[in-house]
């Protein structure tokens, strides 16, 4: 499963990372080295194993479905690179 420059460009696009053309080839090399190393896992027999997605068995208590916070619009906008009229502002997306 070798990663080529085309796959690097696709993954970078999925990850929303701008890539300069000259960056694709070295990155493909780095990713192949790492993926080649982690490929050793394919040799492990996991036929009867359930995937683990929680290390500590925790059951959560339910709580009443009520509003517990809010009213902090200024706090939420305080770190925004751009805001207007109490909203986050971004480049226009609809012509």
90 close to 82: Cβ distance less than 8 angstroms: yes
Check binding of 90 to other proteins (CB under 8 A). yes
Check residue 67 for interaction with other proteins (CB under 8 A).
no
φ and ψ at residue 54, rounded to 5 degrees: -145, 125
First to last CA, the chain: 41
> Pick from 72, 84, 85, 86: which binds other proteins (CB under 8 A)?
72
If one asks whether residue 54 binds other proteins (CB under 8 A), the answer comes out as yes
Interaction between residue 55 and other proteins (CB under 8 A): yes
Quick one: residue 28, left, alpha or beta (phi over 0 = left, psi -120 to 50 = alpha)?
alpha
- 86 is an interface residue for other proteins by CB under 8 A: no
List Cβ neighbours of 80 (8 Å cut-off, separation of 6 or more): 88, 89
Binding positions for other proteins, rule: CB under 8 A: 1, 3, 7-8, 11-19, 27, 30-31, 33-35, 37-42, 44, 46, 49-56, 58, 60-61, 63, 72, 75-76, 78-82, 88, 90-91, 93
């Amino acid at each position: 499963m070798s990663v080529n420059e085309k796959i690097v460009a696709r993954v970078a696009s999925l990850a929303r990372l701008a890539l300069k053309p000259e960056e694709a080839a070295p990155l493909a090399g780095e990713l192949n080295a790492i993926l080649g190393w982690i490929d050793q896992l394919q040799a492990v027999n996991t036929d009867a194993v359930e995937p683990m997605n929680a290390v500590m068995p925790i059951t959560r208590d339910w709580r009443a479905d009520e509003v517990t916070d809010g009213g902090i619009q200024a706090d939420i906008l305080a770190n925004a690179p751009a805001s207007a009229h109490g909203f986050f502002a971004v480049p226009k997306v609809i012509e």
